Amino acid sequence: MDRFVTRNEKKTGDSAPAEKTKTDSRPNHQKGQPKRKYDEAYLALGFTAGVVGADERPVCVLCLKTLAADSMRPNKLRQHLETKHPKHMNKPLDFFQRKLSEYRQQESRMVKSTSVNKNAQMASFKVAYRIAHCKKPHTIAEQLILPAALDMVSVMLDETSAAKLKTIPLSNDTVAKRICDISNDLEDQLVEKLRDTRFALQVDEATVSNQDCLFISYVRFVCSESLREDLLFCKYVQTRATADELFKILDSYLTEHGLKWENCIGFCSDGAQTMAGKRKGLQALIKRVAPEAQWTHCVSQGSSGIKASQPRT
């Protein structure tokens, strides 16, 4: 056996393949060839220079086509002019200079347009935020806010400045989408803060005017050494508002957003049996998954049912 192993080791050592060296697969005329740079004389052939990545490439001022980097040669540029633009073969240099000026103005307008679009989008978000904060209908942006802004800017400044406001998207559907985007972003920020800290919950079940049942939850937590309160969620109760159904809504929300029950150290509700029951109430179900959570009773004010300790948003 030893001789067999020794023989295999010798064969392995003798037959070890030599390390392959990498070969340059580029054509011979490209090996070691420096990159060509743009010459101002190429403008007489209808070409200026543009940068794509790290390469300087020729750009035709007539058709705005960008050629390959290896086309930065007078013969290839002349070939493009002869085949694509034969009518402009004998044009003077002034003609191509005017075309170059038009090309640069067009680039400037495109950059300016992109900047205006970004500013218009930001303005759209700010208007949508104010509409949501004031609880106004979404149509007010297109029917009142934008026309009033156009009137004020045209009087105080000029018509050109007022025309820029027309690029702000403020339709009914756009405002609704902006409000949803803002709401989702605020929720994501809140959930991100709750993932690494302990928190307490305050919940309530309410019925609105159209007889829909809502389950509302607030959260209280410490952020930057200060106590903060915020609305966690407000969801419809599709079936009967039992303790099991309310716990399913609360548990599914925490699980979906990656929040841990062991970080819950407090739970506050009213004295209804569905909420405060020690055996089958919501507080009992929460204590099974969050043993450290301490239940507190939310004090009511008289017979009106208004919670005196209801947190502020």
Token look-up 């010798």 returns: 10
Q: Number of helices and strands (H, E) in the chain? A: 10, 9
Q: What tens digit of pLDDT does each residue of 186-241 get?
A: 999 999 999 889 999 999 888 877 778 899 999 999 988 888 999 999 998 888 88
| DSSP string covering 134-159 | HT--TTHIIIIIHHHHHHHHHHHS-H
The model carries a pTM of 0.55
Instruction: Read off the pLDDT of residues 55-89 as tens digits, 9 standing for 90 and up.
Output: 888 999 888 888 888 888 899 898 998 888 888 88
Q: What's the full length of the chain, in residues?
A: 313
Q: Cα–Cα distance between 186 and 172 in angstroms, integer?
A: 22
Query: Among the residues of the chain, which ranges form H helices?
Result: 2-14, 74-84, 93-134, 140, 146-156, 159-165, 172-194, 243-256, 273-276, 282-289
Which run of H or E residues covers position 15? Answer: none
The identity of residue 65, as a single letter, is: K
How confident is the model over 272-310, as pLDDT tens digits?
888 888 888 888 898 899 888 888 887 654 333 434 444
Q: Which residue has the higher pLDDT, 8 or 166?
A: 166
